[in-house]
Amino acid sequence: ERREAIRSWRGPAQLADGTPVDVLANVQDGAGAGRAAASEAAGIGLFRTELCFLSAENEPSIEEQAKIYREVIGAFPGKKVVVRTLDAGSDKPLKFANFDEEENPAMGVRGVRIAENQPALLTNQLDAVKAASDGNPTWVMAPMIATIEEAKSFAELCRVRGLKPGVMVEVPAVAVQAEKFLEHVEFMSIGTNDLTQYTMAADRMSPKLARLTDPWQPAVLALIGMTAAAGQKTGKPVGVCGEAAADPFLACVLVGLGVTSLSMAVAAIPAVGAQLAKVTPEQCKAAAEAVLGASDTAQARELARAALS
């Protein structure tokens, strides 16, 4: 019965009472954007641009970048497309961005931190996104933001190009001060993969640490709740684009915590959509309140399941 509900589910995503939920796709190139457009996704919530250039020896020109970005943005005309600037380093090193060996690359010069020494990498990319946007205010977000200063300077670089600036919430410091960050940017997107890694001090690539790199960890859920609450208070969108959004029950919890969009692999959309369709906003809120009181992942899952069925 569940399988049939998933197979026959059609968007746009909504809760049982008709409350809309913005369900978006994570993509990494034009082909993926095409598949997303053929799916029930309402837009793109995470375009991982660094994955386009994993084998590039040199920085792609602005024109080369714009061509790829146009394929992705053009797949959803008039719809939301969130482009993430290069998240180079750590598990995704780029030959033209990451030159130094680091002791701890996950905590090293990755994501937006690269712009400090190589500012043109970021400004060239933003020029390319602008060129691909044909005057539309494409949403652009920076990965690995940790300070207000980084958020401010990134936002300025976006605004002068007519782009809509946002930041990813991957470093716990940002969740803790979410409201302050939202004074400077238009939206936030929570990257639960890295947020969990940095909150639990557990390498996301290590299978031995799976019990720690679990987004149902109550501390992670608390940080997501703080961030979503800041979004609600300021009226600015706060989405989730990490793997957590692809877990159907957790997706309902996230909605209950107040996040305004969920972005996931295209393959995960029907199962999440079908689960959202079964629950009311009240159930989502009850599940959210329950998990915030849980003391471990098992209890969080159990309480959420009870509140949602």
**Dist. CA 183–CA 187, nearest whole Å:** 10
Contacts of 172 (CB under 8 A, 6+ apart): 195, 198, 199, 223
Residue 214 contacts which entry, ligand PEP, Mg ion, none (Cβ below 5-8 A, type-dependent): none
Stretch that binds ligand PEP, among 115-123, 149-157, 192-200, 248-256 (CB under 6 A): 192-200
User: Has 194 been labeled as part of a binding site?
Assistant: yes
Q: Indicate the residue among 136 and 193 with the shorter CB distance to ligand PEP.
A: 193
The answer to whether 191 contacts Mg ion (rule: CB under 5 A) is: yes
- CB-CB contact of 262 with 239 (8 Å): yes
Interacting partner of 241 out of ligand PEP, Mg ion, none (Cβ under 5 to 8 A depending on kind): ligand PEP
Other CB atoms within 10 A of residue 299 CB: 15
Strands 81-84 and 44-48: parallel
Segment near ligand PEP (CB under 6 A), from 3-11, 95-103, 122-130, 187-195?
A: 187-195
Q: Pick from 43, 191, 225, 270: which binds ligand PEP (CB under 6 A)?
A: 191
Instruction: Determine contact, residues 164/137, Cβ cutoff 8 Å.
Output: yes
Both tokens of 51, joined, read 């994955």
Active site residue 241: yes
Nearer to ligand PEP, 143 or 270 (CB): 143
104 is in an annotated binding site: no
Helix, strand, or coil here: 168?
Answer: strand
193 labelled ligand-binding: yes
Q: Is 194 in the site for Mg ion (CB under 5 A)?
A: yes
Residue selected from 44, 121, 151, 241 as contacting ligand PEP according to rule CB under 6 A: 241
Strands 261-264 and 44-48: unpaired
**CA quadruple 139, 112, 189, 147: dihedral sign:** negative
Hey, which residues are catalytic here? 241
Feature table: binding site for phosphoenolpyruvate: 48, 84, 193-194, 204
Feature table: binding site for Mg(2+): 170, 194
Chain positions contacting Mg ion, by CB under 5 A: 170, 191, 194
